[in-house]
Structure 1
Amino acid sequence: MMTDRVFRALALHALQTPFKIALRSGARTISYCALAGFLAESAKALASSPRVVGISCDDPLEAALADIALTFYGHVAVHVPPFFSPTQRAHIATAAEIETFIGRSDTLVATESLPRPEACPPLGDPLNLPVAGARRIIFTSGSSGTPKGVIIGERQMAAAIAGLEKAISPRSDDRHLSLLPVAQLLEQVAGLYLPLLAGAEVCFCPEALTALFGGPMEPVMAMMEAARPTTTILVPALLARMVSELKLKRCNAPESLRLVAVGGAKTSPALLADAKAHGLHVYEGYGLSECCSVVSMARPGNPQPGTVGEILDGVRVRIDDGEIVVSGPTVMEGYIGQTPVSGEWRTGDLGRIENGHLIIEGRKDWLIVTPQGRNINPEWVESCLCADPNIPAAGLRLAEDGMLEIIAVITAPVDPARIKHLLANLPQYARPVRVGFAPASHEGLVKPGGGIDRSQLGHLSASLPFHSLCNERKERVA
C-alpha cells in the first residue's frame, strides 16, 4: 500500500543519503535523516491522540510535516484550507468530526504539537513500519461553496502515486517547487509523497498562497530563480501570472525546470503557446478529488496539444453519452455521511478520447443552451479571458434577457476593449454581449484549484455595472 512503499523508501533514503535535503522552506531545511527521526519521535505525541485530526497550519512546511506524521501513524488527516472562510472551516470541523487540531483552530483548542525535526535525536534503529489504515478527508468547495468531504484511503493514494510515477518518472535529483496549498490533494500526491518516494527535495514557497489570489508574484519568481526547481504544479491563473512576469523581465524560466504540470481549469491555447515561448515545459492534466486528483496527464516527450494527455496506468475511463466515467482503484471511498462508492464514478465532465488522449469539453451541468439552440461550454469562453494574467477567473452565464454575459475576476484594472480583443477569435454565437468586473479579493469567488464559484454569478450579475462589448456603452443589468 501507499504508506508501506513511500515510508520504506523514506527510511532507505535516510540510511543511504542521510544528509540530503528532503524538505525546504526559506532558510529552514530538513534532511531525510531528520525527517525519519521526526517520525520516530512523533509516536510519543500521537500515541494517545484521537483518530481524526485536523491540520490547520498557515506554514506549508508545517502542514506537510503534520500530514506525513498522521499518515505514518494511521490517523485520519483533515486539512482545513487556510483560504476557506470561517463558516466553511466550522463546517469541516463538524462534518469530519475533528477531535483535535495540529495548528490553529477557530473552535477548538489545538492540543497536539509535534516535535521539530531539527531537534529530534538521530535515528538509532531502522524506522518502524507505518501503521495501516491511514485516510485523508479532502474538502472541496465545488460549485456550491459548501465543502464536501471526500474520503481517500491508502488504496487510492497508492494507485495515484504509482500511475504518476510511471507517467512522469520522478528522479532523486529532482527539486519540486511546491506552489499550491498542501491542503489540496494534488499537491499532497504529486508534490509531496511522489518526490519523497523518489528521494527528491520539496521546496515550499509560503508566499505562493497570496499570489494565487492576486498578491505579488515577485516572491514566487525570486524563489523559482533561487531554487532552480525541476518540477512544479500550477493552476492556469498562476501560470498566466508567471508568464506575464517572464515577459516583463524579458527572460525565460530556469533551464532546470523540466516539467510544469497544469490543471484545475481549462488552459487557453494562447497561454500554453506563451508559456512554451518562455521556457516553460507545460503538461496538462485532468482529475478530480473524487478520483484521487489525477485521471490523465500529458506525458513528457509526447504532448498532444488540445488534450489532457493519456489515462494513468491502472485507471479506467469510458465515455457514456459524452460524460467521462472513471473506475479503478483511484475512485474515492465515498463522501462523508453518504453511501460508500463502489464501481464507477460519473464525473459530470464532458469529454472524448482520441488516439488514446483525453479531451475535456466542459461540465455537463454548466452547459449553456442559447435561445438560438446553440450549446456552449462556458469554460471554452472563460479560458480566453484567463490568458490575461490580470484575470485569474471568469464566469459566463445566460442572463434573464437571453443574452450571454461574462464576469471577469480581476487583480488589476482591465479595459473592456481588452476583453473584446481576447474574445475576438470566438464565433459570434459564443461571444458575450457585456462584461462585468469583480475583484479577486471577493471572498470565495476564485477557487484555489482553478475556476470561479458559479454559485455567486447570479448575485454578482444583479449588483455589478456591466460594459457593453458591442459599442463600449456602459449598461446596468437588473
Structure 2
Amino acid sequence: MSPEVQRFKEALRKHAEEKTAHIALWGDRLHLDYATLYAEVIDRQQRLREAQVNVLALALDNGPELLLWDLAALFEGLTCLTLPPFFSAAQRQHCLEQSRAELLLAEDGQEAPLQAAGYERQGEFWRRRFDGPSILPPGTAKLTFTSGTTGTPKGVCLGADSLLRVARELEQASHSSNPRHHLALLPLGILLENLGCYAALYAGATLSLPSQKTLGIQGASGVDAPTLLGCLAQRQPESLILVPQLLLLLVGAAEQRLFNPASLRFAAVGGAKVSLELLQRAQRLGLPVYEGYGLSECASVVCLNRPGAHRPGSVGQPLPHVRVHLAADGEVLIEGSLLLGYLGEPERVERWWHSGDIGEFDSDGYLYLKGRKKHQFVTSYGRNVNPEWVEAELTQRSHIAQAFVYGEALPRNHALLWPHRPDCSDSQLDAAVAQANEALPDYAQVHHWTRLQHPFTPANGLLTANGRPRREAIVERYRDLLCPTVHSEESSS
C-alpha cells in the first residue's frame, strides 16, 4: 500500500473511532456513520480479495454503494473503472473491452448489454475472463475514459498517489471555509467529483450521494430544475462542484428567489470556460464560487481560486502539488500528478504535460485561460480568436443554450445559436448577442448569427457524450451556411 493510500485509509479509520455517530454517507434513503462506512469498506475489500481480479468496473448510479466499492478497490490495490452514466451503450462496451475488467457491478436492467459483451452473472458480480497480458501501466489505481471529440473514449491511467494528493489539496483549498456537508451533483464517473468526495471524507464531513434521478439530472446535460432545486433545499449542502451550466441554473434560480444559497460555503466550478459576467452575477448573490482548471491527464485539478486567493476571471493559482509554466506560444505546460499513460499506448516519458490550452499569468501568478490551442481560428484580418471564449459569453446568459462560433479566414464572425426555450424570440436572441459583444473586443464579437432548427446532440453527431461540440462535424454540416457566398434557408441575422 502506497504512503498516500495508507494516509487516506488511516484518516478514515480515525474518523471511524472519533466520529462514531457522525453521518458519513447520505444516499437516497440510506445513512451511514463513519464507523459503519469503514467496516463496510473493509468487508468489500475482503470480497474483492477473494474474487482474485485486477480490474473492477462499476456501472452504478451515484450512491453509498458506488463509493464503498470504489474505496474498497483503492485500498485493495485494484484498478477501478467507474462508467459515466452519459456514455452510450457502445462507449460503455468499448471501455469494458479496453480495460479488460474481469469483475463488474451494475444496476438492474443492464443484463442484455452485459451478456452481449461476454459477461456472466455470478452472485452479486458480473464476470468475464480475458486472455493475454494486461495493457494497463503498473500501478494504475483509476482508469478514467475521456469522451473526446471523436466519440471513441480514451483511457487515462492514474496512480493512487497522484489522485490522493489532489484530493488532499482540494480539502486544504476549502479548509478555511470549513464546509461540513458536500453534495455530489456530478456523476462519480467524472474524476473531479470522485476526488471531491475523497476530499470530503478526508475532512470528516458528511457526503451526500443522491442518485442522479433524485437530483433530476439525466445524461450529460438534461436537468429538471425544480427537482434539483428541491433536493438542494432539502439537504442544504455547504459545498458543491459545478460545471458552468449548473452554475448558470443556480444563479438564475437565485435571482428569481427560487434558490437560497445561504448554506453554501464553497462551490468549485470548472470543466469549461466560465464567463466573467456569470461569476459577477454569482458574487452579487453571495454565492461563494471559485473557478478552477484541470485535466484528467493531471489527475484533475491543477489550479483553483480559493478563499484568500481569489481573482474572478482567472482559474486561480497552481496548487502546491504541481508546477505550471507557459511555452513560447502560450500553451500551458504542467508537471506533477501526471497520468501513468494512456491505455494500450507506450509508457509516458515526458516530464511536462502539454495541455493544449492557451493561457497567461498575471503578476501574482493567477492563470487566465484563452481557450484550446487547436480550436483557435484566424480571421481574415489576422486576429487569433478562441471560439470557446466567445461561446462562454453567449451561453452563460439568459436566452442561449448552445452556441458555436466560426470565423476562419472570414472578415466577420458567425454564430450558430439554439435557445433555451422554443418561445424565445429572435429579438431576444439578438439582445443576448449584443450583450455578449459588450464584453468582447471587436475582433472576437459576433457579427452574424443563425438560429438553428435543431440543437447539437450526441444523436445527430454534433455533440460528444459529455456535451462538448464536435467542431469539425459542425463545420462540415453547416459549411454552406458558414460560407458567406452561399444562401441559407435557415433564419439568420
Q: TM-score, normalised by structure 2?
A: 0.84
5+ residue gaps, structure 1, are: 115-131
Deviation at 1:59, TM superposition (A): 3.8
The answer to whether structure 1 residue 260 and structure 2 residue 267 are counterparts is yes
Matches for 1:57-136 after TM superposition, within 5 Å: 57-104=60-107, 106=113, 107=117, 108-109=119-120, 111=122, 113=124, 133=139, 135-136=141-142
Rounded to whole Å, the distance in 2 between the matches of 1:353 and 1:448 is 32
Choose which of 230, 235, 256 in structure 2 pairs with 1:227.
235
Change (3 A) 1:100 1:458: farther
Query: Does the aligned pair in 1 maintain the 2:86–2:219 contact within 8 Å?
Result: no
Query: Does the aligned pair in 1 maintain the 2:295–2:302 contact within 8 Å?
Result: yes
Deviation at 1:32, TM superposition (A): 1.1
Deviation at 1:57, TM superposition (A): 1.0
Deviation at 1:76, TM superposition (A): 0.6
**Corresponding residue SS for 2:124:** coil
Rounded to whole Å, the distance in 1 between the matches of 2:101 and 2:418 is 34
Deviation at 1:384, TM superposition (A): 1.3
Change (3 A) 1:376 1:171: closer
Choose which of 19, 31, 36 in structure 2 pairs with 1:34.
36
Change (3 A) 1:407 1:61: farther
**Corresponding residue SS for 1:82:** coil
**Corresponding residue SS for 1:407:** strand
Deviation at 1:448, TM superposition (A): 7.3
Rounded to whole Å, the distance in 2 between the matches of 1:15 and 1:386 is 48
Query: Does the aligned pair in 1 maintain the 2:417–2:449 contact within 8 Å?
Result: no
- AA paired with 1:422? A
Deviation at 1:81, TM superposition (A): 1.1
- AA paired with 1:312? L
Rounded to whole Å, the distance in 2 between the matches of 1:286 and 1:15 is 35
Choose which of 8, 11, 27 in structure 1 pairs with 2:10.
8
Deviation at 1:402, TM superposition (A): 7.2
- AA paired with 1:434? W
- AA paired with 1:84? F
The answer for the alignment partner of 1:416 in structure 2 is 426
Q: TM-score, normalised by structure 1?
A: 0.86
Post-superposition Cα deviations, 1:68-109, rounded to whole Å, max 9, x if no partner, equal: 221121111111111011221121112212222111552223
The answer to whether structure 1 residue 461 and structure 2 residue 478 are counterparts is yes
Rounded to whole Å, the distance in 1 between the matches of 2:13 and 2:167 is 18
The answer for the alignment partner of 2:391 in structure 1 is 382
The answer to whether structure 1 residue 22 and structure 2 residue 24 are counterparts is yes
Rounded to whole Å, the distance in 2 between the matches of 1:96 and 1:195 is 28
The answer to whether structure 1 residue 236 and structure 2 residue 244 are counterparts is yes
Matches for 1:310-459 after TM superposition, within 5 Å: 310-321=317-328, 322-328=330-336, 330-342=337-349, 343-354=351-362, 355-388=364-397, 391-398=400-407, 404-413=413-422, 414-424=424-434, 425=438, 426-430=440-444, 431-437=446-452, 438-439=454-455, 442-443=458-459, 451-459=468-476
Query: Does the aligned pair in 2 maintain the 1:264–1:449 contact within 8 Å?
Result: no
Query: Does the aligned pair in 1 maintain the 2:458–2:464 contact within 8 Å?
Result: no
Deviation at 1:349, TM superposition (A): 0.3
Rounded to whole Å, the distance in 2 between the matches of 1:290 and 1:149 is 10
Change (3 A) 1:59 1:173: closer
The answer for the alignment partner of 1:120 in structure 2 is none
Change (3 A) 1:84 1:391: farther
Query: Does the aligned pair in 1 maintain the 2:358–2:373 contact within 8 Å?
Result: yes
Deviates more, 1:25-34 or 1:430-439: 430-439
Rounded to whole Å, the distance in 2 between the matches of 1:38 and 1:171 is 30
Rounded to whole Å, the distance in 2 between the matches of 1:97 and 1:211 is 25
- AA paired with 1:338? E
5+ residue gaps, structure 2, are: 126-137
Post-superposition Cα deviations, 1:141-160, rounded to whole Å, max 9, x if no partner, equal: 12222211100111211321
Deviation at 1:173, TM superposition (A): 5.9
Between the two proteins, the alignment pairs up a number of residues equal to 452
Deviates more, 1:204-213 or 1:16-25: 204-213
Rounded to whole Å, the distance in 1 between the matches of 2:68 and 2:419 is 34
The answer to whether structure 1 residue 296 and structure 2 residue 303 are counterparts is yes
Rounded to whole Å, the distance in 2 between the matches of 1:197 and 1:340 is 31
Change (3 A) 1:211 1:81: closer
Choose which of 169, 173, 194 in structure 2 pairs with 1:167.
173
Choose which of 136, 150, 154 in structure 2 pairs with 1:148.
154
Deviation at 1:164, TM superposition (A): 2.1
Query: Does the aligned pair in 2 maintain the 1:241–1:389 contact within 8 Å?
Result: no
- AA paired with 1:412? R
